[in-house]
Amino acid sequence: MHKYWYKNTIVYSLDVKTFMDSDGDGIGDFQGLTQRLDHLSGLGITCLWLLPFYPSPNRDNGYDVMDYYNIDPRLGTLGDFVEFIHQARECGIRVIVDLVINHTSIEHPWFQKARSDRHSRYRDYYVWSEQPQENLSLIAFPTVEDSLWEYDDQAKAYYLHHFFKEQPDLNIANPAVREEICKIIGFWVELGVSGFRIDAASYVVEEFGMEQISQQDLHLFLEELRSFLTSRRGDAIFLAEANVKPDKISVYFNNGDRMQMLFNFLLNQYLFLALARQQAAPLRQGLQSLPQIPQSCQWLNFVRHHDELTLDCLSDSEQQEIFSAFAPQENMQIFGRGIRRRLPPMMQADTRRIQLTYSLMFSLPGTPLLYYGDEIGMGDDLSLEGRTSVRTPMQWSDEHNGGFSSAEPEALTQPMIAEGNYRYQRVNVVAEQRNPTSLVNWMERIIRLRKQCPELGEGTLSFIDVDDPGVLAHCCQWQTKAVLAVHNLTDQDCTVRLKSHPDKHLTDLFGDRQYESLGDANTIFLSAYGYRWFRISSTH
């Protein structure tokens, strides 16, 4: 296996409790997930990212952890987890899991001991103050929380929380906490995971409220984590969630000795600005604004994931353009900066635009991520609160509860989408697999092609100038191979001339439809919202 396996893997993100229920209690579990590995393998997935599955009071979808060394009993046992890892490995699928180290649940035993005994060793596992200083700009959910601090009557002090008040921040300045985090990593590596997605990484390296530690020391902590991980499993990776400006990217990659992968939040936001304007310039601007990163590092590209589509790297006017195009109603927006919708409803179920968007994501430099249900075009349920609108159960068939669970509907962990254009009776895996022109069959084809084009994961990006502002043409070259992708972001057919492309032969690899062979290799026809991928070669 290539040591940079993560550069050309296909990542699929899911929440165990909403994927497949094996025992009829209404909650997805590891046995159910194991039963559905054949679907993921058939789709072409090679890496699973699992959202938190630890014991939790679930005030924040499992990100309020009560026990880092166990499985939520509703989801199964550690034995079920190990069997799942084994079966995933048999299918050629690696597994990375969420590492939530910015905060715990208020119900974690560490915090319970910290609040009840000032002299407990666990007191310094958290950040306390009797006269706290405020910094409202650091609040993660500004429309929900109005302070970074919460007074605890039992502790008789304020504790720091960047997220919900039920999630007290861990004190990373404490060496005992850092040692505990390494133990957690070591535990799950021994059970077979291939890496970790570090939740809220930008807050992990935020020194606000901590004493006796600098931001630079916190940056070095990322190197400590990487060194420990590599010592336990040389090919394991860290994927950091850090929505930061380009000049802060080096904090996470450094010289290639910290995180191997980073979510490409900036590109994601410029992608939607380009789609809203039907112009290529914003997407090109987003790509050009990304800093050079070490060879061993990689971007993770995505269209949507389990959180909101955040737009906070864009100006207010740019955000409003995207809201107007894709989330015009207030209940489609969240936290004043994001959109809580899945892609198909945003695109008004226009298959051409949906496929165009995913074609862009798969062809841009980096590793592609799919969120569960993307492959069948699942919708959202805006009647649900907050982020849960995009976290409804997987739709497997038109049978009871969409084939997700045999439980009564009121017992489900989240309601099924049972009404409207995206109801499970209409949008489901079984129905789409029977239809040769369905989205799931299209996804299988583009995943297969992406695996055949390592240039997109490993190569050097260059732009090809064209004479139409609505068309993006880009090329990725690696070793002796090169792929050219041309995308029409507009609702009009067009014929574009490649102004700067060398006179070489272009072989069609993939497109929105069957096109005639190229006459003049520098002139390309594209239908509305059309796309074409080409292999570049020097000989016919």
Active site residues: 199, 241
Contact 307, 387 (CB under 8 A): yes
Q: DSSP characters for 137-163?
A: GG-SSTTT-S-SEEEETTTTEEEE-SS
Q: Helices 281-289 and 265-277 sit at what angle, rounded to 10 degrees?
A: 170
Give the number of other Cβ atoms within 10 Å of residue 315's Cβ.
10
User: What letter would DSSP give residue 41?
Assistant: H
Q: Cα–Cα distance between 192 and 83 in angstroms, integer?
A: 10
Which pairs with CB-CB distance under 8 Å and at least 24 residues apart come from 176-179? 176/121, 176/124, 176/125, 177/124, 177/125, 178/221, 178/224
d(CA 394, CA 414): 10
Q: Which residues are CB-neighbours of 385 under 8 A, at least 6 positions away?
A: none
Count of other CB atoms within 10 angstroms of residue 458 = 19
Q: For residue 317, give the amino acid letter.
A: S
**Look-up: residue for tokens 């090329």?**
475
Whole-Å CA distances, 179 to 89, 207, 228: 29, 18, 10
Q: Which residues lie closer than 8 Å to 282 by C-beta, 6 or more apart?
A: 270, 273, 274
* Burial (CB count within 10 angstroms: exposed 0-12, middle 13-18, buried 19+), residue 28: buried
The H or E element spanning position 487 is strand 481-488
Instruction: Tell whether the torsion through CA atoms of 27, 33, 34 and 39 is positive or negative.
Output: positive
| Angle at 410 (CA atoms; ends 405, 413), nearest 5 degrees | 60
